[in-house]
Structure 1
Amino acid sequence: MAADKNKIAAMSYKRGSEALGKENWDFAIEMFSQAVTLCPDNLLYRQVLRGAEYRKYGNNKKGARMAGVKLAGTRNRIRKARKAKDWLLVSQEVEKGLQINPWDAGLNASLGEACRHLEYDNIAVYAYERTIEANKEDKANLTELAHVLEEMGEYKRAIICWTQIQKIDPENKEARSKIMGLEATKVSDRGGYEHAENTQDVRTSAYSDFVGKPGGPGAADGPGMSEEADLLRAIKKEPEKHAHYLKVADLYRKENRLEDAAEMLQKGLDASGGDPAIREQLEDVELQQMRQNMSLAHEASKKSDDPERAKKQIKLLNRELVQREIEILSARTERYPQDAKLKYQLAMRHMRFKNWTAAIPLLQQASSDSRMEGEVLCALGDCFLKDGKKSLAKRQFSKAVEQLNVQDHKELFKKAHYILGCLLQKEGNMEDAEEHFQEILSLDYEYKDTLQKLEEIQSQTAEEE
């Protein structure tokens, strides 16, 4: 049942994306809404839905005409659902309201609340952020956002929220306490995982040290004494030159100072007015940080006193990573439509979510690149097989075995022959199935149950004779 929902949602997402390209906003919203209803925990579906709603209203920040009047009934239904603690219904009613005014702060706050109860934490964060965009001094929702981020282990972002709260309310004792506590936790619990090793001290960016503090790198080192200091001087002297920021960020990445690299690239992005090359570097660092956090989470889980909680945290981090990869790769495939490798990478991420209908057209386009044709055909065969289209799967794997070099792709070579052998055996084509199984055994005599399958075929053939 869940697989069917995912499949239908993926198809709706595909149709919505096509409608978006044709500026058919209403149909795009209808399709994305269907995807959200079927997969309410999918952040990407909510994001593209909101994007379509924004574009429908020309980013006017107020939605439909007389939106307040039109939303009266929706708000009443939300209140009733909240009273009944039916959080899924709350989120569904909120989405109906956001189709009238996607910028409505109250609706976005209600979505954040509902998603917290449903444990859709990444969507809760997204909703609260939209709420705060409408009112940057919304202390109540900044507090809610800070709590969600802390629960997710996003300590740096939580500190930013508490700092904003403290600016709004300087006497707020909770904000002062949280900032101090989270700074300490951030140092001892890097990435948000208990007992994680290889922690790094929390520090301000080297750029801020250099330009803002006497005795910083620029004061301590003369020219040529420190590569970092020289590069930071270059930025101070020529802040308009984008290459300086990229060089400093590259240095930080080599030293595994990813937070510093991200901050430097953000400064470069701001200084350049949004240079795409810098934006891509910043995205790469963001993904690198997320993968590093995944690695730390796996290590910490081995020592955790609560393995179920650790497992849930790893699953959440993995899902967020893949969703972010999909967002980034989707944008890059639009920017570089001839890059087959990007399409292949994006398709592989869609496959992680079992989104076969989104992956298949990307793989079909990527198969035109002869350098990776065998790999792409295997992935395409996998999609068709998982989607229940066995004849199409067999065709892809048959083409793949002709392209795969056993020295370079030994495991894929065995996998393609194994699947072909199994499909042919089920069809009753024992002769061809036997050939595929023999190809595998000539390389790996213990591969899965290949030997057993070959013996079954040979036994059956002997009986028939």
Structure 2
Amino acid sequence: MSKESTASTSGPVDPVRRTPTVADVSPAERSRLTQCFQRGTQSLATNAEYAIEMFSGCVLGDPSNAVYLQSLLVALKKKYGSKKLGMLSVLWSAGYSGLKKLANSAQWHKILKQGLEILKTNPNNHACLLLMAEACGNLLFYDTQRTYLKSALDAAPADPEVNRQCAKFLADHGEFDQAIACWVRIAGVKGLAEESQHEISRLQVEKTIVAGHGLTGRSGASASVQQAGGAATGPVVEAVDRTATLKQAIQKNPADIESYLELADLLERDATVEEAEKMLERALAASGNDLKVREHLEDRQLRWSRHKVHIAEKRIESEDTSANRSVLERLRGGQLKQELEVYSARCARYPENITWKYEFALRLKAAGNYSEAIRHFQDVLQDARRKGAVALELGECFQKIKQYQLAMRNYVTAVESLTAREVELRKRALYRAGVLATGLEDNDAAQKYLSLLAGLDFGYRDVAQRLDKLGSLKDKGVSD
């Protein structure tokens, strides 16, 4: 059986670029699920079994809906209470080995279906909850991934793997304090002290960077203390000592890749990005061009590039000069070139990964290479969850190469496919369809799409003026 298209089956996903998706549910099916949910809610107090059946159907029908999932878990806990199995009982529970096999072959939807049956017999099976969270993460259902992870943590708050997975999710979503708390929670577990300390240090660096401190014009830790007029104490001393320890470890064992990576984190925080990048390049050389190390370096370089662009944009907000605009244009060009190279390489490494193809296609479009972008977007169309967004991108590409009928066909597909949750994309698709229909002198279609847009957002761009103009043409035709 072929693998399902996933966001991270074959390689890491850049957290800054990840976009959550919702399950592909038709309006009729969504109406049916709403009715089931209402029946489950009404019967929960008096008939938990019936509520569980109703909520289970909702979760299967829309696995991206966190409200459905939370209601099911509440109903299951109402039935079973807080009874928990031991780890061996969890691992040997019926169906768990089957879930592992499905995970190995990336059959994420099947994991959610079979995992639900396991949870209906034991909602505190944290191993099952973790696998279901992994499935949701690969399907980009982040709301339900969070719910499964929270339930796993509630069921097994001291379990190392549960805390690892929760910490990773929280860090990827910028919730660094909560991620650090997960590592603190298991720092006392035998054999995990060093790993926990390493991750806590790394997350503190990430938190500092995301907060906007220090990527440009940073002073080192010791300099910060001197400026404050005090002696180096506490965390600063620890950082300096840790840096020295890591340098000694590398000198003693030049193949100690983890020490290179941790030292690069510290250099990024306390020295400069340039020094951190050089350290990562040394790590890549020492690893023999290991793929994981290379992608770690690539991800950092992309993030640094984005940050430079962000700083340049902020500078223009306060001082809009031709020189600053020139700098911003140069940085954006460099960022696009770098992203094209990285995502092209990722597509070659992971040809089945739809996410990399989508990201690469977006960059090709941004670079004006519309024919190649079209080819890659068409590959992504096999992913039904992205149908509306991809159709919109295809329409814009076809319009750029003056294939207007193909562009219109894709805009119509986008309008029909985009859901209420994707309102900004839907507004853009309606506007593109209305404007192109005007250019093709199909005034009825133009009136239709622009009127739909006006119903959503009357202030969207120049939609009001366009509708007035179409109205004038129609009035003129009637008077003639």
TM range (shorter): 0.3 to 0.5
Higher relative contact order, chain-length normalized (CA < 8 Å, sep 6+): 2
What's the TM-score once normalised by structure 1's chain length?
0.47
